[in-house]
Structures are given as C-alpha cells and as structure tokens.
Amino acid sequence: MIISSDTELGVVPSSYQLSLSVLYSQVVDLVEVMHVASIDLLRSLNLRGNPLRELPDYRLSVIFAVQQLTELDTQHVDIAEKV
C-alpha cells in the first residue's frame, strides 16, 4: 500500500485528514492496528471483513488504540466511546 500526500513535503493543510481502508485483509490482532495508531492525521479506518472484528470489545479497543479516529468501519465515533 502506498500513501502519497503533501505531507511528504512537510505541507499539511489544516483540514487534511487521512482515511484508510483495509477491507478483507486478514487483520487478526489489535497489535496490527497499532501500526497505524501513530498516524496523527488518520481520522477514518475501515476494517470490515477482517477477523479482528470478531474479538470481544473490538470497536472500543480500536477506538481506544487510535484516539484520533472520528469514523470506524463507516460509522461515526462518538466522543463517549473514547472515554
């Protein structure tokens, strides 16, 4: 996967947000999600079709790990879910 943007040049518009879709990619563990948790501009993450979604507390665990998300699996992340 290649993500190319103005951020490679150090230019980050204030409204810039990143969406990442990893549909049906055999993501099985929260540890794998942690690789994207450090992407500060990541706002939307789609993990539909991955075994990880079958884990207990999947949604809350991902939201806790990636605090900057505003959308997970095409569903809005409520502020109460981050607490």
pLDDT at site 54: 96
| Spatial separation of the C-alpha atoms in residues 44 and 77, rounded to whole Å | 9
> For residue range 2-47, what is the model confidence (pLDDT) as tens digits?
444 444 545 555 578 899 999 999 999 999 999 999 999 999 999 9
Distances (CA, A) of 31 to 10, 15, 28, 65: 28, 29, 9, 9
The pTM of this model reads: 0.81
| pLDDT of residue 80 exceeding 70 | yes
* pLDDT range class, residue 82, cuts 50, 70, 90: confident
Q: Which domains does the chain have, with CATH numbers?
A: 15-82 (3.80.10.10)
Q: What is the mean pLDDT of residues 47-72?
A: 97
